[in-house]
Amino acid sequence: MKVMLRRVVLRFATDRKANVAVIFALMMVPTIFLLGMALDYTQALRKREQLNAAADAAAIAAVRPAMLTQTDKAVVKATAEAVFAAKANLAGLSATPTPTVNIVDSGLARTITVSYTAQSINNFPGVLGKQTWQVNGSATAKASSAPNMNFYLLMDDSPSMGIGATATDIANLIKYTAPAYQSAGASQNCGFACHETNIAHDGGTKDNLTIARNRNITLRIDLVTSAVNQLLNTWSNCPQSGVSGGVMQCMAALNNTTYKAALYTFDLGLNTLATLTTPTSAGTQVSNITLMPVAYQNCVVVVTNCKTDNGTNISGALTSLNNIMPTPGLGSNTAGDTPQEVIFLVTDGLEDKIAATCPNATFASNSRCQQPLDTAICTTIKNRGIKIAVLYTEYLQLKTPNIPTTNSWYMTWVDPYNGPTSLTGKIAQNLQSCASPGFYAAVQTGGDISTALTNLFIKVASSTASLVQ
């Protein structure tokens, strides 16, 4: 009997057929523990992602343009809390968390941080020994309110802005100023609609500007005028209903800011059309943007023995404007603060003036300096804190195959600064250098100057909110 019992015990001890069941039973406890923990942790992570999205939305909502003008921080905080609450009311939380909203204002800039702590309910509370899993997170958004600004619009009205607006317009001007039309015009074979006041000097009866008008030829000065008109008077694409006026009035309404405008042209010097006033009042002077008159070929003023065509003193106009403009402020609505100051320069970028020195080129003749813009004055202006926005209306390359005939004066005095293309040469480079960072745009001949000027203005005037974290 003892032998048999010993054999049974020995057989049971050496039999391995039930080991899997034993091992499985032993592993069930940690497996269930890990599975329960993984499910609850995954659920908590999902809740955290949803709450982070709610914090992002709350932070962005608190730096929208309408909120940036709100000086009562309690209102800003309540807005952020309301947006968070609307998106954070999630199933699976012990309660809807109340966020902590921190607001820091510095000048025109506002930084909002929305942080939270929440409790995600565990499905296996017994496994972890607790009913909830804590999750937390935060979001930070920063934006600057759009500042109040004074805009000084400086338009080139020199003879070169009388070039045909498109290649077809240029060709038509050359056609209708050909020798066969001698009795109708002053300057022959000319793609420029020169505004000549003494056409008898050249034996004609009509100047080229009259020819262009009679032939319905569009000039670059017409496109510039149309662009400024859209900026100050009429814009049909304003996203806010009930706003009358142009792009400037629309953006002032959207940004809840105050904008003023001054309107100038320049040729030999600075010409005042409207001193700083409301955009609407400045807009009444847009029709006065006209080409600079010249007495006749090689004479920009009525004097004896006038022998020069100069008529574009960009740096001189900028210098005069700099003397007019006050020191800029931040553009906030804080008592004692003043608007930011911005120059909008629209030009083809080539200076053509009588000067004692010609730093960027050699003198053409009779102290006539034709050169890319001398950017020294731009640096002086920007160092005062004044912004400069530049729209470059391409200086057309007056050589074949661009136009039917090659202009020898252009080839000698201008071409070296206008290549390899008009948009990449020294003229374009200096204008881009003159502009404040990011405030430069270029339009080729035939391009949409109105759209380019509008887009440049919106870029300068707008501000956007961004998530920092």
Which distant-in-sequence residues (6+ apart) come within 8 Å of 450 by Cβ?
A: 223, 226, 227, 230
Give residue for tokens 């074979």. 189
Contact in structure between 51 and 138 (CB atoms under 8 Å): no
* Per-residue b or e along 326-343, where b marks 16 or more CB atoms closer than 10 Å to that residue's CB: eebbbbbeeeeeebbbbb
The pLDDT assigned to 15 comes to 58
Which of 28-37, 223-232, 259-268, 310-319 has the lowest average pLDDT? Answer: 28-37
CATH of 149-163+219-468, one of 3.40.50.410, 3.40.462.10, 3.40.109.10, 3.90.1170.50: 3.40.50.410
What is the rounded average pLDDT of the residues 380-386? 97
Sign of CA dihedral 57, 58, 63, 69: positive
Beta bridge partners of 265: 155, 271
The CA-based angle 460-391-385, given to 5 degrees, is 45
By the 10 Å C-beta count (0-12 exposed, 13-18 middle, 19+ buried), 410 is classed as middle
Non-local (6+) Cβ contacts of 377 within 8 A are: 315, 318, 319, 322
Q: What percent of the chain has pLDDT over 70?
A: 82
- Please, are residues 370 and 349 in contact by the beta-carbon 8 Å criterion? no
Q: pLDDT digits over 328-365, tens only?
A: 999 988 889 999 999 999 999 999 988 888 888 777 76
Estimate to the nearest angstrom the gap between the alpha carbon of 447 and the chain centroid.
18
CA quadruple 226, 227, 228, 231: dihedral, nearest 10:
120
Nearest to 309 by CA among 430, 394, 409: 409
Start and end residues for every CATH 3.40.50.410 domain found in the chain: 149-163+219-468
Residue 379 has pLDDT above 90, yes or no: yes
**Residues 23-81: tens digit of each pLDDT:** 555 555 565 555 656 676 788 888 899 999 999 999 988 888 778 777 788 999 999 99
Q: Cα–Cα distance between 309 and 418 in angstroms, integer?
A: 19
Band the pLDDT of 131: cuts 50, 70, 90. confident
Q: According to the model, what pLDDT value does residue 274 have?
A: 98
Average pLDDT estimate for 374-396 = 94
Query: To the nearest 5 percent, what fractions of the chain are helix, strand and coil?
Result: 40, 20, 35
Please answer whether residues 378 and 436 qualify as being in contact, where contact means their C-beta atoms are separated by less than 8 angstroms: no
Look at residue 468 in the predicted model and tell me its pLDDT.
Answer: 63
**Residues 6 or more apart in contact with residue 196 via CB below 8 angstroms:** 186, 187, 202, 207, 208, 209, 293, 294, 295, 296, 297
Q: Is the pLDDT of residue 202 over 80?
A: no
Distances (CA, A) of 164 to 40, 205, 446: 73, 21, 9
Is pLDDT above 70 for 181? no
Q: Is the pLDDT of residue 248 over 90?
A: yes
Task: Read off the pLDDT of residues 274-329 as tens digits, 9 standing for 90 and up.
Answer: 999 999 999 999 999 999 988 877 787 655 667 788 889 999 999 999 999 999 99
Rounded Cα gap, residues 243 and 245, in angstroms:
7
pLDDT tens per residue across span 431-457 = 999 999 999 999 988 888 999 999 999
Amino acid letter, residue 437: P
Q: 340 forms bridges with which residues in the sheet? A: 149
Q: Output the pTM of the full model.
A: 0.74
Mean pLDDT of 372-379: 95
Q: What CA–CA distance (Å, rounded) separates 300 from 291?
A: 12
pLDDT confidence band for 190 (50 / 70 / 90): confident
Residue type, 443: V
Residue 179: per-residue pLDDT: 73
Q: How confident is the model at residue 22 (pLDDT cuts 50, 70, 90)?
A: low
What values do phi and psi take at 287, rounded to 5? -65, -15
Q: What is the pLDDT of residue 3?
A: 58
Q: How many residues does the chain have?
A: 469
Least Cα distance to 193 among 147, 161, 241, 150 occurs for: 161
Burial class from Cβ neighbours inside 10 Å (0-12, 13-18, 19+) for residue 431 reads buried
- CA 258, CA 147: separation in Å to the nearest integer? 8
pLDDT of residue 333: 81
Determine how many CB atoms are found less than 10 A away from the CB of residue 151.
27
Structure tokens at 237: 């694409």
Q: Which ranges constitute the DSSP H helices of 350-434? A: 376-383, 408-413, 426-434
